Structure 1
Amino acid sequence: MLRQLLPALLTALPAFSASAADWQQRSIYQLVTDRFATTNGSYPSCDTEDRVYCGGTWQGVIRQLDYIQNMGFDAIWISPIVANLEGSTGDGESYHGYWTVDQNSLNSHFGNESDLLELSSQLHSRGMYLMLDVVVNHMAADTLPPDYVLFAPFNAESDFHTFCWITNYNNQTNVEQCWLGDDNVPLADCDTESDYVIDFFYKWIGDLVANYSADGLRIDTVKHVRSDFWPGFAEAAGVFTIGEVLDGDVDYVSTYTEVLDAVLDYPTYYQLFYAFESTSGSLSNLVSWVQQSQSTYKNGEFMTGSFLENQDNPRFQSVQTDQALVSNAISWPFIQDGIPILYYGQEQGYTGSNDPYNREALWLSGYVEDKPLVKLVRTLNAARKAAIAASSDYLSTVLTFPSVTSSTLAVYKQPMLALLTNGGSSSTPSWSVSSTDYSNGEELINVLTCDTLTAGSNGAVSVTGSEGMPQILLPTSVFNVTYCNELLSTY
């Protein structure tokens, strides 16, 4: 029954205006195109250490859309689509898509134009969104100085900032106008002060979105381009924009919330990772960072992408495999103010550390759906959607923390109460929340187990957990017991 129910719920979502408000209702599955699925469904070997193309394609993504949608995701974020540096370098091949050489051509390793158009069409027929990843800051070479004539459309040295490596991240001019990369693959920094470069990118992004009916953009290396470039870029795109500002400082990241719709919430990510990577992690620091972001970002944490893993950072299970801690950490993006993003392979328990080890081939997992973390993610998505459907104010309700101890955390966002702990699988956590908006005697359900309990006076909730696992509570009027049991018993 659930296989039929989830697609029906997704296709009932609003039409594809792709506004920031529409994206708030979504949850995003991020995938590395080359490592997600092959066109013919084969399972070729793929050693991450080799840093080579392994054969994933856009047609492969189409083949596995059921897998993504069955987990409750209604948007996907794919790797950059344009033509990349060819051949092997001292840093491997450009299978990840971030080494652009031709902004006007597609990466043929992933497929052709008709393949990408079909992926977009297939997503939209399912009520799902397509997020494209774009790189504006730089283009890639395999020599220093680059052979500029090999680039398109910027094929002259004057189209780029004068070469210098970034050496001082406290100097914003150095960050914006010097180069990323290394001697093997120098990343020539586009001169985004040039009218020619600006005009190209503004027209290019509008055409890219229109040509492939993209619903949103993830923008790479945002802090390496001057801030006042971005409003015009976003306006030209005409769809939701979320920028990567890889920094843990809330005040620094907040400046980019003024120029794009949203940012990837790196400051909270670092504190989330630290909070659950061990039983001595600080939950209070996580709370403090969230509260600071809520008061500092232009739209609080509502317009952020919340994540635990991505292609640039080590997988959580490379440092911690206690499944109680893992489950608590994975739950966070689905219960907070922003848009949840899950990095492919997280649901399969992948353990790769830093790049390139965190870019494993998903086909090596067999796309097995009857696994604890797959079921956890499916249930978290379903609970979030139920909360959104139950309360017109849910997406504008600010997350609060009615209880914080050294090892437990209560996270409240009416009508959802999430009870988290970093005590680990050997712990027996307990939570006591003295007041909520639940009515006295209202029946609540832990959506992760389908057990029920009753709220007390002033909506008080007292719970004793088991084996350090989180509890996600909703009124049974919002998430009924029958649906809960069907959800957990599927597969």
Structure 2
Amino acid sequence: MEQPITEYSMRHYCGGTYRGAIDQLDYVVEMGFNAIWISPIPSNTDIETIYGVGWHGYWQDNIYQLNKYFGQEQDLINFIDEAHKRDIWIMLDVVANHVGPNVTNNYYVPFNKSEYFHQPLCLIKDYSNQTEVEFCSLGSERSVLPDLNTEHDFVVSAFVSWINETIMKYKFDAIRIDTFRHVRKSFWKDYNRYSGVYSLGEVATSDASYVGAYQNVADGILHYPLYFLLNQAFQDNDQSRQSMFVIENQVQENEKYFNDTTLCGIFLDNHDQDRFLNHTQNSVRIQNALVYLMFSDGIPIVYMGTEQNFTGNPNEKYGATDPWNREPLWKSGYNRSMWIYKYLAKLNQIRSLLKEQYNEEFFISHQQTMLIDNDTYVYKKGPLVIVVSNQSFNRTKKLSFGSTVVSNRWKDLLTNKIYEIDNNNELEIDSWQPKLLLPVSSSASILSSCLAVLSFLLSFFFNMNK
């Protein structure tokens, strides 16, 4: 009999392995994904804390040893090989800022001397103080994550050698870098150069000018400034929901501070944040949010479990966030009939066919606003006109094409409905349902294509299968 899931069990290993993940790769393929973001692979501390043990992978104690709970070296090699056979990329989560909680510094490998850690020990209290952010430790007084001295030559050498050897040995395709802002920017230049693959840094704050500056030392950055606003705009709560202007304004801000937003990771939730579906259960609003995620500037990241309508556990302490947002996927039974699973597969297929029709034009083009009001956002990206709304009821609106009309007839790729432009170069739309509008001459070839789905989408797989 399967044991009930408790907060204690959620803070400990629950059986996910690389071997088990191999068995579910086709689940990923059928949803249209072609990249998976996996947990860090080094050994983690088993010391019991108020937050459990290092089951998540972020409390490393020996970077040269694999996490035994996830599987053996050959299991990891086989997992990546099987993913590559299916044209799936693997992005590795990496940590260079800290190690797991322990009582003595000589416990860690290879960082077994006090000089390899920032001294004296301090906890981050003021995130507006960059020196404190980079030199003090994460955690709490009861569970400190010792902060590595990434100015020390030995620490730098150990990490750049490790990342180079790890990428080469296992053939990872990309890296996601944890706690990116907690390490000096100059450290990351060598680290990412030695990795030799696409790098995506985590800078978990809402200030676009601050976050965007980190794209100077990584290929892309997780788009936290936009994440916070997407959750505010697409939530169900009428009192706290923000207008669509906040999204459009942020898009304009991004252009000022990011080198290239099309290389950044856009997301609705992740393992560190509340489940998006805890705040949004209206199916129309969910569809609109997913369409924006998949068809705006950036690399869309869908967090494991969204496709199965995972909401966390709102009735428990910590609710929709850690640890309840990290539930094992197998409890869903990998239900391919779940409507969100099928909707993501459909969106993924459209992305793939756009890529086939227009090469990279859609993905490297930047979105341009056509219409914006409190509840509707219409923008052009490449050849596509995207309509999204945060309302759950129908409103008819007119979209002006001005003198730039490329076709009088447009097809919605989501419904196959044809829309015709009137004599005033305006197109009347019902604005509550999302739309992906393409000129009829172009959409015909896209909708008739039977090519395989190859969209570039990232998914975080966490304890995927027993």
Query: What amino acid is the match of 1:444?
Result: K
Q: Deviations over 1:26-67 (max 9, x none)?
A: xxxxxxxxxxxxxxxx97754355311111111111110111
Question: Is the partner of 1:358 in helix, strand or coil?
Answer: helix
Indicate conservation of the 8 Å contact 2:244/2:377, yes or no.
yes
Alpha-carbon offset, residue 442 of structure 1: 3.3
Question: Hey, what's the Cα distance between the residues in 2 that align with 1:430 and 1:108?
Answer: 57
Aligned runs of 1:199-278 on 2, under 5 Å? 199-278=157-236
Relative to structure 1, is the Cα distance of residues 328 and 44 closer, same or farther in structure 2, using a 3 angstrom cutoff?
farther
Aligned runs of 1:399-438 on 2, under 5 Å? 399-424=367-392, 427-435=393-401
Alignment correspondent of 1:463: 429
Q: Are 2:360 and 1:389 aligned?
A: no
Question: Hey, what's the Cα distance between the residues in 2 that align with 1:148 and 1:457?
Answer: 75
Question: Is the partner of 2:326 in helix, strand or coil?
Answer: coil
Relative to structure 1, is the Cα distance of residues 459 and 206 closer, same or farther in structure 2, using a 3 angstrom cutoff?
farther
Alpha-carbon offset, residue 461 of structure 1: 3.1
Q: Deviations over 1:442-488 (max 9, x none)?
A: 341332x33333345697432115xx43222234534655569x99x
Question: Hey, what's the Cα distance between the residues in 2 that align with 1:149 and 1:406?
Answer: 57
Unmatched 5+ stretches in structure 2: 313-319, 454-466
Indicate conservation of the 8 Å contact 1:310/1:343, yes or no.
yes
Q: Deviations over 1:62-119 (max 9, x none)?
A: 1101111111110000011110011432111222111111111110110011011011
Relative to structure 1, is the Cα distance of residues 194 and 187 closer, same or farther in structure 2, using a 3 angstrom cutoff?
same
Q: Are 2:69 and 1:109 aligned?
A: yes
Alignment correspondent of 2:459: none
Relative to structure 1, is the Cα distance of residues 458 and 256 closer, same or farther in structure 2, using a 3 angstrom cutoff?
farther
Q: Are 2:46 and 1:86 aligned?
A: yes
Question: Hey, what's the Cα distance between the residues in 2 that align with 1:212 and 1:362?
Answer: 25
Indicate conservation of the 8 Å contact 2:369/2:379, yes or no.
yes
Q: Are 2:333 and 1:366 aligned?
A: yes
Question: Hey, what's the Cα distance between the residues in 1 that align with 2:271 and 2:215?
Answer: 22
Query: What amino acid is the match of 1:461?
Result: L
Unmatched 5+ stretches in structure 1: 1-41
Indicate conservation of the 8 Å contact 1:408/1:431, yes or no.
no
Relative to structure 1, is the Cα distance of residues 438 and 57 closer, same or farther in structure 2, using a 3 angstrom cutoff?
farther
Indicate conservation of the 8 Å contact 1:454/1:461, yes or no.
yes
Relative to structure 1, is the Cα distance of residues 457 and 102 closer, same or farther in structure 2, using a 3 angstrom cutoff?
farther
Query: What amino acid is the match of 1:359?
Result: R
Alignment correspondent of 1:134: 94
Which moved further from structure 2: 185-194 or 42-51? 42-51
Q: Are 2:188 and 1:188 aligned?
A: no
Query: What amino acid is the match of 2:31?
Result: M
Q: Are 2:27 and 1:73 aligned?
A: no
Which moved further from structure 2: 361-370 or 270-279? 270-279
Q: Deviations over 1:409-455 (max 9, x none)?
A: 1121122222111112xx103343211865333341332x3333334
Query: What amino acid is the match of 1:319?
Result: H
Q: Which structure is higher in RCO with an 8 Å CA cutoff and minimum separation 6?
A: 2
Query: What amino acid is the match of 2:105?
Result: Y
Question: Hey, what's the Cα distance between the residues in 1 that align with 2:249 and 2:311?
Answer: 29
Name which of 298, 301, 321 aligns with 1:338.
298
Question: Hey, what's the Cα distance between the residues in 2 that align with 1:420 and 1:364?
Answer: 32
Query: What amino acid is the match of 2:108?
Result: F
Alignment correspondent of 2:107: 150
- TM-score, with structure 1 as normaliser: 0.84
Question: Hey, what's the Cα distance between the residues in 2 that align with 1:430 and 1:483?
Answer: 31
Relative to structure 1, is the Cα distance of residues 133 and 72 closer, same or farther in structure 2, using a 3 angstrom cutoff?
same
Question: Hey, what's the Cα distance between the residues in 2 that align with 1:178 and 1:60?
Answer: 38
Relative to structure 1, is the Cα distance of residues 344 and 176 closer, same or farther in structure 2, using a 3 angstrom cutoff?
same
Question: Is the partner of 1:217 in helix, strand or coil?
Answer: strand
Indicate conservation of the 8 Å contact 1:275/1:283, yes or no.
yes
Question: Hey, what's the Cα distance between the residues in 1 that align with 2:449 and 2:340?
Answer: 19
Relative to structure 1, is the Cα distance of residues 233 and 175 closer, same or farther in structure 2, using a 3 angstrom cutoff?
same
Alpha-carbon offset, residue 387 of structure 1: 2.1
Question: Hey, what's the Cα distance between the residues in 1 that align with 2:32 and 2:255?
Answer: 27
Alignment correspondent of 1:23: none
Instruction: Give the root-mean-square deviation of aligned CA atoms.
Output: 2.1
Question: Hey, what's the Cα distance between the residues in 1 that align with 2:173 and 2:304?
Answer: 20
Q: How many residues of Structure 1 are paired with residues of Structure 2 in the alignment?
A: 436
The percentage of counterpart residues that share the same residue type is: 34
Question: Hey, what's the Cα distance between the residues in 2 that align with 1:80 and 1:44?
Answer: 26
Query: What amino acid is the match of 2:205?
Result: D
Question: Is the partner of 1:302 in helix, strand or coil?
Answer: helix
Alignment correspondent of 2:263: 303
Question: Hey, what's the Cα distance between the residues in 2 that align with 1:56 and 1:432?
Answer: 50
